[in-house]
Structure 1
Amino acid sequence: MRIEDQVAVLMQGTEYGDEEVKKVMRTELHDRLVQAEKENRPLRIYCGYDPTKADLHLGHTVTMRKLQQFQEFGHEVTFLIGDYTALIGDPSDKDVTRPILKEEEIRANANTYAEQAFRILDPKKTIIRYNSEWLSKLNFAEIIRLTQNFTVQQFLSREKFKLRWERGDAVYLHETLYAVMQGYDAYSLKADVQVGGTDQFFNIVTAARKVMTALGAQPNIAICLSILPGTDGVEKMSKSLGNHVPINTTPEDMYGKMMSIPDNCMPVYFRLVTRWTPEKVAEMEKAMQAGSLHPRDAKMALASEVTEAFYGEEKAKAAEQDFVVKFQQKSIPDEMDEFVLTPGQKCLDVLVDAGMVKSRTDGRNMITQNAVKLNEELVTDWNAELSEGVLQVGKRKFVRLVKAK
């Protein structure tokens, strides 16, 4: 593929908050590709993943999909497991201090990451590294020299740190080291390109490029990707918020959750979680805007594409048929009452307050009899907190659960 066409694909879905920065990164990427072609070598690409949780969801795969594109163009991809940076935890998107994980927790989570990543990446073409390889060997004098490249003001001006400072909450010194450590990762890997989300802008664009330059290396190019919204269309996809699409699930569940995303989020999903080219994405958007493509049909195409990428064409088609039978053929009605969830409200309370059961005893009986479902999945714990979606009791009672605005 021509270098210009590679750049178009690789820059799809990127966001820097500043068009000038985006132009600079696009130009640098183009020039680095030209340079690598002259030197007859692939670019060295990496993305780091801190193993803070065992299971990955679709939001985590946005960067993996970009790594896959680099692989398809013949470049060298490193999947970096941040077993050392996980000891701190990235403060970029948190307005509270992250809990420090135990080393055994990190190791256990790390063991599952590569396996899940290979659902997208080619295992034969992917290099797995751990940043403890080099970070554990730094001595105190070397750390001092690295931190000399940064000011306290740079860290306190960051949004989350600034918020905590203004609230009078603690900002711990070890948290400022995270960006420095990530910068040293890029240097140690001799990276041409680092992939990450927009929440990594400071770590990649400021810290990594500064560290690499200070140590005499050519600074890496930042591919910062937009953050994938969850199925609620509002918040960042997160397991804790219940708005995620898990990777370790069934084709039917993945397809169904994809069909629950709001229409206005589809263009973002087109760019971030599909294998579609920029031309295909533009074609889909144009057809939707012209009214020649119904949003429902566009969403079904999106759900099929994502499910097929993980489970293959045959299982994706079966999942689509399962969805059609359950939803489009009226197993679940299109119209139903809404019930606004209260924070901390338990399942049994919802059943009673929404008028789905006559009493708490009746509610317990229905749960025991496997007659209560949320988004087609059985609810077995009457003390569970329910997330948004369709709550069903028996065959005929339905209510749509929504969060308070």
Structure 2
Amino acid sequence: MPLSDELRKEVERQLRMIRRGVAEITPEDVLERKIATSVSTGKPLKVKLGLDPSAPDIHIGHTVVLHKLRQFQDLGHEVQLIIGDFTGRIGDPTGKSETRKQLTEEEVTRNAATYQKQLFKILDPTKTVLHFNSTWLGNMDFQDVVELSAKVTVARMLERDDFSKRYATNQAIHIHEFFYPLMQGYDSVALESDIEIGGTDQTFNILMGRTLQGAYGFAEAQVAIFMPLLEGLDGVQKMSKSLGNYIGIDESPNEIFGKAMSIPDELILKYLDLGTNITGEELHKLNEGLKEGSVHPRDAKMLLAKLFVCMYHGQEEGEAAERHFITVFQKGSLPEHIAEVSVEKDRLEEGSIGITKLLVAVGFASSNSEARRSVVQGAVKINETKLLDPNSRVQVQSGDIVQSGKRKFVKIVVV
């Protein structure tokens, strides 16, 4: 049915918003048809994101997909958020030529709870339907599994890059690993998803949803939308907690602000585009300012850092983190507010303690060896005096300021 001019404009508006920052849409003509149908009928599209709770802390790299989902919600559509409590026990191959460790039920449950708490910092809970895929996968009998596996050939499975590389080099591929993309694809069948979103590293798994919906007789299979991967603080590798190049959305305001200020200049616009809610017009204006030299990269990073903190901790915390950064890093003085940490007298010998033990006691290191590394690297100061000998003992009294790195400060209170 032809759309009125008004409805056609709404379809075009939604497409413009959805296309922004996207790496690929497969197929784009089907997306346009689905949106047109939704606009004309008033029925929201069902937009799927599957999460296997293998890492409980969300970082800025993860939020690229979440922000796109929030855009769909703002356009009136419904997000199907799938916590892979069943697939998480199987484990998706890592792409590192090895089988990923299978998670225990306890690990999956704990990680899923953390995910839910953090996801709704971005998503609208009133437009999000939360599912656990054990609901349908856990009820399948062996005949169901055989019928599912009959939908896809081994040759198709070996098209997946990490499988093909491992097969070519005679490295082990376990049968259960083939079931991971099958199960993730079956999620789309069970929920009758219209669209699935994920990173470009999930291409094979997401396209499997299209394959299976077609095999199960869907009139029109889901659209796959792929988002680019965000490089980490090193500017090279994908943001990852295991690589230590990440900004966690649950980190402290000062930590988020400081980390954002450390990103390479060439990634400022990409972080703003994919990781914040800045408008396209604001982004364009900032880009022009950076090109002309009327905007300094440092100021653009300050904007980025403050936006991150405001998004995940609120406006007041964003302003406080900005003041903290200016005070400590631009003016070279101590921060206005420093947390106090108690040190018990019985840990001191004639008022002194080993520097490594002190760093562990105040929470700046999880072990003596980590504390030693911090000292040797010149990261530790007491009352603004740098310490370089990890074997040294220091006199400690209430009011002393201990600093580790550029962002960690505590004030000692001897009790």
Task: Provide structure 2 residue ranges, at least 5 long, that are not aligned to the other structure.
Answer: 1-8, 335-368, 380-385, 411-415
Q: 1:292 to 1:93 in 2, by over 3 A?
A: farther
Aligned counterpart, 1:359: 389
Q: 1:372 to 1:306 in 2, by over 3 A?
A: closer
Superimposed CA distance per residue, residues 38-68 of structure 1 (whole angstroms, 9 cap, x where no aligned partner):
2220111121111112322222222211111
Aligned positions of 1:65-144 closer than 5 A:
65-91=67-93, 93-144=95-146
Which amino acid counterpart does residue 247 of structure 1 have in structure 2? I
Task: Provide structure 1 residue ranges, at least 5 long, that are not aligned to the other structure.
Answer: 17-21, 333-344, 380-405
Aligned partners of 2:376 and 2:389 also within 8 Å = yes
| In structure 1, C-alpha distance between the alignment counterparts of 2:395 and 2:30, rounded to whole Å | 61
| In structure 1, C-alpha distance between the alignment counterparts of 2:271 and 2:17, rounded to whole Å | 15
Aligned counterpart, 1:294: 296
Aligned positions of 1:143-158 closer than 5 A:
143-158=145-160
Aligned partners of 1:92 and 1:200 also within 8 Å = no
Aligned counterpart, 2:216: 215
| In structure 2, C-alpha distance between the alignment counterparts of 1:358 and 1:312, rounded to whole Å | 38
Aligned counterpart, 2:23: 15
Question: How big is the shift at 1:374?
Answer: 2.6
> Which of structures 1 and 2 has the bigger CA Rg?
2
| In structure 2, C-alpha distance between the alignment counterparts of 1:46 and 1:367, rounded to whole Å | 55
- 1:169 pairs with one of 168, 171, 192: 171
Aligned partners of 1:53 and 1:109 also within 8 Å = yes
- What percent of counterpart residues are identical? 38
Q: 1:373 to 1:214 in 2, by over 3 A?
A: same
Which amino acid counterpart does residue 360 of structure 1 have in structure 2? P
Aligned positions of 1:53-68 closer than 5 A:
53-68=55-70
TM-score, normalising length: structure 2: 0.80
Aligned counterpart, 1:377: 408
Secondary structure in 2 aligned to 1:194? Answer: strand
| In structure 1, C-alpha distance between the alignment counterparts of 2:306 and 2:64, rounded to whole Å | 17
Aligned counterpart, 1:400: none
Aligned partners of 2:92 and 2:180 also within 8 Å = yes
Aligned counterpart, 2:264: 262
Question: How big is the shift at 1:358?
Answer: 5.1
Which amino acid counterpart does residue 65 of structure 1 have in structure 2? H
Secondary structure in 2 aligned to 1:196? Answer: strand
Aligned partners of 1:304 and 1:320 also within 8 Å = yes
Does structure 1 residue 31 correspond to structure 2 residue 55?
no
| In structure 2, C-alpha distance between the alignment counterparts of 1:162 and 1:377, rounded to whole Å | 46
Aligned counterpart, 1:402: none
Secondary structure in 2 aligned to 1:246? Answer: coil
Aligned positions of 1:171-186 closer than 5 A:
171-186=173-188
Aligned positions of 1:325-336 closer than 5 A:
325-331=327-333
Cα RMSD between the aligned structures?
2.5
Superimposed CA distance per residue, residues 164-201 of structure 1 (whole angstroms, 9 cap, x where no aligned partner):
33443311111111111111101111111111111111
| In structure 2, C-alpha distance between the alignment counterparts of 1:251 and 1:237, rounded to whole Å | 19
Question: How big is the shift at 1:8?
Answer: 1.8
TM-score, normalising length: structure 1: 0.81
Q: How many residues align?
A: 359
Does structure 1 residue 348 correspond to structure 2 residue 348?
no
Question: How big is the shift at 1:346?
Answer: 5.1
| In structure 2, C-alpha distance between the alignment counterparts of 1:287 and 1:238, rounded to whole Å | 31
Q: 1:370 to 1:143 in 2, by over 3 A?
A: farther
Which amino acid counterpart does residue 146 of structure 1 have in structure 2? L
